[in-house]
Amino acid sequence: MSVYKVIELIGSSEKSWEDAARKAVENAAKGLKEIRVAEVKELDLRIEDGKVAEYRAKMSVSFKYIPT
């Protein structure tokens, strides 16, 4: 039987929400083993001087829990 842990991540990008989500997962994968699912929960924008400065994607990410 496997056990999974769920954490919340926020990725950001100057290009798109998709790029923000991809960056968050790829960075998390550097420190977490066996990431299984990422579910986007919320999308937002950071605005500067009336223009979009940054896309942000908030997501839940699950990965296999391996006790140490």
Identify the pLDDT of residue 26.
96
Give the position of tokens 């998390």: 28
The pLDDT of residue 12 is: 98
Residue 17, classified by CB atoms within 10 Å of its CB into exposed (0-12), middle (13-18) or buried (19+), is: middle
Neighbours of 28 (CB within 10 A): 17
Domains of the chain in sequence order: 4-64 (3.30.1660.10)
Q: Give tens-digit pLDDT for 13-62.
A: 999 999 999 999 999 999 998 999 999 999 999 999 999 999 999 999 99
State how far the Cα of 63 lies from the Cα of 37, in Å rounded to an integer: 7
Type of residue at 30: K
